[in-house]
Structure 1
Amino acid sequence: MTESFLPHMNGVTGSVLQILRHLERTGHEAHVLAPDAVGLPTEISGAAVEAIPSLALPGYRNVRVGTSPAHRVAASLRRFQPDVVHLASPFALGWRGALAAERLEVPSVAAYQTDVAAYAARYRVPATTGLAHTHIARLHRRATLTLAPSEDAAHRLADLGVDRVRRWGRGVDAERFQPMRRSAQLRAAWGTETVIGYVGRLAPEKQVEDLAALQDIPGARLVIVGDGPSRPRLETLMPSAVFLGHLEGDALAAALASFDVFVHPGESETFGQTLQEAHASGVPVVATGRGGPLDLVRMGIDGWLYRPGDLEDLRMRVADLAGDARKRRAFGAAGHQAVQGRSWASVCDQLLGHFDEARALQAVDAGARARRRTRPDPSRSIDARRWQRYVALGDSLTEGLCDPGPEETLRGWADRLALLLASRGGLHYANLAIRSKRVRDVCETQLPRAIELRPDLVSVLIGANDLVKPRVDVTALAAELESAVTRLRAIGADVVLVTPFLPDRRAAGIYAARFASFATALAGIAARTGAILIDTDLHPTLPERPHWGEDLVHLSSRGHRFLAYRVGEVLGVPHADALGALDASLHDDEPISAGLWWRRHALPWVWRRLHGRAAGDGRVAKHDDYVYLGRSRAPRGVSVG
């Protein structure tokens, strides 16, 4: 599954084409899902190409974004029955592919190739950088394995909470890109002594306008290969430069080999394929010292890296090479030698190895899921369980803020879940959650009381109040929570771990990386302890405004109902999905005005913070002991106090 494909040619498309050729050569069967576009082939390298409905990308009328729903993608995968799903630079279509692969229990390998968050910032699209990071994190956490093209990209993914990251670079076509392609005819046409060249899209994220700082280097001329929405403005900005438009194949190889210095100013490159092709062509490289170029350019050996954003440093590095033919030849020869071991054949063989690893990891994951879905008695499945004592731990979300009940009480998702569970024959239920509490409060105060109650089911939704602090150690936080889960599992209780979540609001984006990292840690806790993980990322509608209360911080009644039914589904409550749909159709929430929000929620919160107070100070749990839900009397032998 690829976000970009023919007829639009770019780094993602080029990689997919090389992978398909290698799969065909090595006897594997492939099937391609790609955004529909005029000129999209129906077959290539022995692989059928399935067109997915798409929309044009703003600013790129010829670039399409796949819009197919996950169920259609799942149906396509079900027909082909793949051993592994490769997600090439996933974002929109790739997200649906990751969900579909998980639903079918097929391993998926996601190749991180495009820094979408950086692109969003450059284009100033409505999706903020924070929200883009959130999406990238949840997508790659869905994948069985993630491939990062550079060390910098791997660190960026780790900062977003993505684990199972492996390094996988890109190959270079050393037969096509080589020094012998240098053309005296082209150089004569360009009419200059020294050629400073660029190859790539002419778009904001590539920062091609920075090349204007090189226009007046003595004896040099800019030659720019590529096309895109920025071309008219760039031609005005750099009137002396030669713009060749889009080139490919041998024409591109000849132009690249005819450069004296290759310059790439983009700061959002996860790899930098054109840098490799320049080196293969025997041309020294000057690139920004950020992202993929850090792995490809060896300072003072085959090129220079300049300080990001420092155009004086850029000019100095380029002028150094432009004025020294002997140094250019030495740097070019070193770059040419460096890429000789990076053929597409060897890189694609590495990819096949990653596919094998993903299949092995999928088997491990399937085993972990099976263990999480069994009680201490392995002969009973999760669908057959009937719990008798349920205790809910957490903060305001589990207490039920913004979900009013009768007589000024609060309900909340845990109360609603308890009613669902009680429908199967009665239930003893305690809710120890208190607003504003943190992981430490759960572990030090709520946990001991829960153990006294000897539950056979415990839900834990905690961490949001910790994650929005100015500083937080996610690893230490998760370790503390894992200790609590381990103690609960030791007394024979099933534990439901719910990952904290954020509303779909611009301000929430600054915490996205922390929440993603913590969710990844909870997945690890569940796998190690046998807890039942409720990964809220699997429900992308939960952050939407109707699911959030008037304070824009807590779930609304609709949101609490939604979460209760989703957890009920996982716990095997009969017809939970159908009941949830019916419940949703009978309710609607009224919006709150911005002025009322400030008076009722924002200003009181600021006052409490300034005075070192929290909303939960002095409060006690609403159900510190068991209450019985159900029509029948308490079963014999069940402790109620």
Structure 2
Amino acid sequence: MRVAVFAESFLPHMNGVTNSVLQVQRRLEAQGHETLVVAPRAAGQRPGRVADGTAFLASVPLPSYPDVRVALAPARRIRRILEEFRPDVVHLASPFVLGWQALAAADALRIPTVAVYQTDVVAYTERYGVPGAATAAAAHVARLHRRATLTLAPSSAAEQQLGALGVDRLARWGRGVDAARFSPSRRSEEWRRSIAPGERIVGYMGRLAPEKQVEDLRVLCGIPGTRLVVVGDGPERARLERALPGAVFTGFLGGDDLAAALASFDVFVHPGESETFCQTVQEALASGVPVVATGRGGPVDLVRSSVDGWLYRPGDLDDLRARVDDLLGDDAKRRSFAEAAHASVQHRTWDAVTGQLVGHYREAGRLRGYDDALLVRGATRPLAPRPPAQRRRWSTFVALGDSLTEGLCDSSRMREGLYRGWADRLASLLAQNAETPFRYANLAVRSRRVRDLVTTQTPQAIALRPDLVSILMGANDLVGHGADPVALARELERVVRDIRATGADVLLVTPFLPRRRAVMLFARRFAAFAHEIRRIAAETGSLLLDVEALPELGDLSMYAEDKVHLRSRGHRLLAYRAAEVVGIPHAAALSGLDDALHADDDEPGPGWVRKHALPWIWRRLRGRTAGDGLGPKHDALVTVPGRGLGDGSPLPAPPLGG
């Protein structure tokens, strides 16, 4: 792959972002990928060339922290860089200013973007005390990560923070550790004697800035026989030297000197509460040093309390002191914690996490295809269909909905006047995977609306006591005058919660439209409704078939001659994608085989306006619908054999060869 990495900071300023970018670049190239690093240019640094793998942009120093540079590059310059390099994916390392510009350029060129969340900018602005800055920063972070194709969060705390900001596509990706450099073998008695002869060492390593809360370590000053050692530099150093009497400040250390210092600590402490990951904690663990860190943010996923360190109550400095005293006062416990610390990170090599990163790059490429196929951008984007974490088996399935679930226009292998439909096909697939006799009802009726789902279909479904219910409803409401997608979703949510309260699983399907200019009038309503359904699925623990993640379903070849309902090919696609979601094995392969064996004979014909459009308009003018006087397709449970019932049956036919 060709990977363009945009970094908010880079050499010569060394920090967590810079280190991560260097490690990723090195490993990607070792694995045969091509990389380009785009970053702010430091004073006196040459611009670099795309052909040489670097491109440095004009920048200015951050007023409160001059070592940090902010890139100032016109959008056309960034676009030219991307056009010259032609990346398969754009990697945004801790994006904010440069990352936003790169994101906009990549979006215009339809290049997938992976935004790696590494810096809690919101917490930083709060600590620096700029009025109104935190609110503005939160809005910008949310806007940026919602626009990125995929966001990688390093910890559970970061995932929760981004989720609260409305970021919809999130995956977990941690950091690697250089286990060869950070190792217990680096421990140096000579270094210890030079720093704190005859004393135990409690150490901190990192940037000396307000957000790190290093001043909290004052409670550790004066512990008998113990020296506090602070490794690092930054704008707070002078103030901290006054605030931490007796502490040793080494200044910046790098390379082997840093590794030796870290391995020579007896206990590592980190008080910062705004860490998205906290790489220095991971490096301390790799060095065989037990850790005492705050129980908030990234350290929560790294430190195992009472195994390789302690997590103290955030803000409780007495608890911090007590946890450090506990380890200093028990040599055997400290040795045990040290061994567990070293063992805990041996699988987190940079080679391993870079391999995971390449997988995320490929996932972003897949998701970008979905985005490009959207009629409009919704509040959230579709997610690729994924099977449930645990394979489930059901015995009773009830389908609710309108004409799409009834199966209108899917006449494949059916007698005149009968239809199959995606739900019947799904029932057949479920029956083949059931361990007991499988029962099925289809309460869908053409032209029905959400109010019918609430008042009629749901009570009927609950009375049948199913363990799986599918709901595809809302399209008829959304094309009506003055439709309110959010209000409709609230009604649908009540239905879902009522069904879930019975113990049944719910499969939600987002309504969809063919990709035609004539339907663009309704596209925003459908996108807003789909956004609400995603929320409902997440909050109720329902299964979700997000049809916007199936761009091929918008193609007109999937639709019958009325250009509204799916033809057999479209119903097959929907059925097998639903089968993937509910965890039926090999559903994707079965779909391709079924499609090959069942060539449609229902190609759209002429006369669409006369045959379909005018009758629909006439019914609307008279206040009638195509479903008037019709009842459900299967209003009682029927048993579906595992191998189908043969051609022409009104019940589901076999998925293959029928």
| Shorter-chain TM band | 0.5 to 0.7
For residues 71-150 of structure 1, what are the structure 2 equivalents within 5 Å? 71-150=76-155
Corresponding letter in the other structure for 1:207: Q
Q: 2:293 aligns with which of 270, 284, 287?
A: 287
Offset from partner CA, 1:594-628 (integer Å, 9 cap, x none): xxxxxxxxxxxxxxxxxxxxxxxxxxxxxxxxxxx
TM-score, with length taken from structure 1: 0.61
Q: Which residue of 2 aligns with 1:574?
A: none
**1:362: how far off?**
1.5
Query: 1:42: how far off?
Result: 5.8
For the pair 1:167 / 2:188, whether they are aligned, the reply is no
Which amino acid in structure 2 is aligned with residue 257 of structure 1?
A
1:162-193, CA deviations, whole angstroms, 9 ceiling, x for partnerless residues?
12211111011111111111111221122352
Q: Establish whether residue 215 from structure 1 lines up as the match of residue 215 from structure 2.
A: no
Contact 1:461–1:497 (Cα < 8 Å) also in 2: no
Q: What's 2:304 paired with?
A: 298
Shift of 1:23: 1.9
Match of 1:596 in 2: none
Q: 1:365 aligns with which of 371, 386, 389?
A: 371
* Equivalent in the alignment of 1:415: none
TM-fit CA distance, 1:131:
2.3
Query: 1:323 Cα deviation (Å)?
Result: 1.6
C-alpha deviations, 1:232-290, integer Å up to 9, x for none? 11001112000001111011011101110000000000101001111111110000001
Deviation at 1:151, TM superposition (A): 1.4
In structure 2, the residue corresponding to 1:497 is in which secondary structure?
Answer: helix
Q: Distance in 1 between matches of 2:342 and 2:492?
A: 43
- Once residues 208 and 12 of structure 1 are traced to their aligned partners in structure 2, the CA distance between those partners, rounded to angstroms, is 20
Question: Secondary structure at 2:259's aligned position in 1?
Answer: helix
* Separation of aligned partners in 1, 2:163 and 2:478: 39
* Aligned residue in 1 for 2:67: 62
Q: 1:280 to 1:209 in 2, by over 3 A?
A: same
Give, in angstroms, the shift of residue 48 of structure 1.
2.1
Q: Could you say if the C-alpha distance between residues 496 and 365 of structure 1 is closer, same or farther in structure 2, counting changes exceeding 3 Å?
A: closer
Is 1:231 the counterpart of 2:252 in the alignment?
no
Change (3 A) 1:461 1:526: farther
Hey, what's the Cα distance between the residues in 2 that align with 1:475 and 1:240? 64
Q: 1:497 aligns with which of 512, 524, 529?
A: 524
CA distance in 2, matches of 1:45, 1:104: 18
Q: Are 1:486 and 1:529, in contact at CA under 8 Å, matched by a contact in 2?
A: no
Residue of 319, 324, 327 corresponding to 1:321: 327
Q: Relative to structure 1, is the Cα distance of residues 87 and 528 closer, same or farther in structure 2, using a 3 angstrom cutoff?
A: closer
Conservation of the 8 A alpha-carbon contact between 1:460 and 1:497: no
SS in 1 for 2:351: helix
CA deviation string 1:545-604 (max 9, x = no partner): xxxxxxxxxxxxxxxxxxxxxxxxxxxxxxxxxxxxxxxxxxxxxxxxxxxxxxxxxxxx
Distance of aligned partners of 1:144 and 1:216 in 2 relative to their CA distance in 1, 3 Å threshold: same
Give the 3 Å change call, closer, same or farther, for CA 63–452 of structure 1 in structure 2: closer
Structure 1's 47 and 488: CA in aligned 2 closer, same or farther, altered over 3 A? closer
Structure 1 match to 2:27: 22
Distance change in 2, residues 1:42/1:68 (3 Å): closer
User: Unmatched 5+ residue regions in structure 2?
Assistant: 1-5, 379-449, 455-474, 498-507, 540-544, 552-615, 622-658
Question: Aligned partners of 1:242 and 1:525: how far apart in 2?
Answer: 57
How far is 1:638 from its partner?
A: 10
**Which residue is 1:194 aligned to?**
200
Give the 3-state SS of the residue equivalent to 1:218 in structure 2: coil
Distance 1:331 1:454, change over 3 A: closer
**Equivalent residue, structure 1, for 2:36:** 31
Inter-CA distance 499–226: structure 2 relative to 1 (3 Å threshold): farther
Offset from partner CA, 1:128-148 (integer Å, 9 cap, x none): 323222211111111111111
SS in 2 for 1:85: strand
User: Given the alignment, which residue of 5, 12, 19 partners 2:17?
Assistant: 12
| Aligned residues of 2:370 and 2:550 also touching (Cα < 8 A) | no
- Code of the residue aligned with 1:184 in structure 2: it is E
SS in 1 for 2:355: helix
CA distance in 1, matches of 2:479, 2:340: 69
CA contact (8 A) 2:41 2:47 kept: no
Alignment: residue pair count: 445
**Does the 8 Å CA contact 2:49/2:55 hold for their aligned counterparts?**
no
RMSD over aligned Cα, in angstroms? 4.4
1:324-339 matched pairs, under 5 angstroms: 324-339=330-345
1:488 and 1:339 map into 2 onto residues whose CA distance is 49
Cα deviation for residue 361 of structure 1 reads 1.6
| 2:414 corresponding residue in structure 1 | none
- Give, in whole Å, the separation in 1 of the partners of 2:490 and 2:210: 36
Deviation at 1:125, TM superposition (A): 2.2
Evaluate the alpha carbon distance shift between residue 48 and residue 460 of structure 1 in structure 2; reply closer, same or farther with a 3 A threshold: farther
The answer as to 2:533 corresponding to 1:527 is: no
The amino acid across from 1:103 in the alignment is A
What residue identity is the alignment partner of 2:337? F
Q: Give the % identical residues.
A: 53
C-alpha distance in 1, partners of 2:289/2:477? 72
- CA drift of 1:65 comes to 1.3
Residues 178, 257 of structure 1: 8 Å contact kept: yes
Contact 1:3–1:89 (CA<8 Å) still a contact in 2?
A: yes
Tell me which moved more, 120-129 or 304-313.
120-129
Secondary structure of the structure 1 residue equivalent to 2:336? helix
What is residue 398 of structure 1 aligned with on the other side?
Answer: none
1:382-393 mapped onto 2 (5 Å cutoff) = none
Larger Rg: 2
Contact 1:460 1:496 survives alignment (8 Å):
no
The structural deviation recorded for 1:66 is 1.7
Contact 2:267/2:290, CA 8 A, preserved across alignment: yes
Letter in 2 for 1:190: I
Deviation, structure 1 residue 363? 2.1
Counterpart residue number, 1:427: none
Are residues 237 and 365 of structure 1, via their aligned partners in 2, closer, same or farther at CA, if it must alter by over 3 Å?
A: same
Q: Residues 482-510 of structure 1, C-alpha deviation per residue, up to 9 Å, x if partnerless?
A: x9995998997432428999xxxxxxxxx
Residues 180 and 242 of structure 1, relative CA distance in 2, 3 Å threshold: same
Does the CA-based 8 Å contact 1:21-1:45 persist in structure 2? no
| Residue of structure 1 in register with 2:8 after alignment | 3
Residue aligned with 2:125, SS: helix
* Residues 1:499 and 1:485: Cα distance change in structure 2 (over 3 Å): closer
Per-residue deviation, 1:74: 1.9
- 2:255 alignment partner in structure 1: 249
**1:308 alignment counterpart:** 314
CA apart distance, 1:101:
1.1
CA distance in 2, matches of 1:220, 1:45: 51
Q: Is the 8 A contact 1:195 1:220 kept in 2?
A: yes
In structure 2, what is the Cα distance between the partners aligned to 1:51 and 1:30? 14
AA at the equivalent of 2:173:
W
For 1:376, the equivalent position in structure 2 comes to: none
* Cα deviation, residue 11, structure 1: 0.5
Shift of 1:365: 2.4
Distance 1:229 1:218, change over 3 A: same
Flag structure 1 segments of 5+ consecutive residues without an equivalent: 373-439, 445-449, 467-471, 502-513, 531-636
One-letter amino acid of the structure 2 residue matched with residue 77 of structure 1: L
Distance 1:367 1:211, change over 3 A: same
Residues 9 and 18, structure 2, Cα contact 8 Å, conserved in 1: yes
Aligned to 1:154: 159
Q: List per-residue Cα deviations over 1:387-431 (Å, max 9, x = no partner).
A: xxxxxxxxxxxxxxxxxxxxxxxxxxxxxxxxxxxxxxxxxxxxx
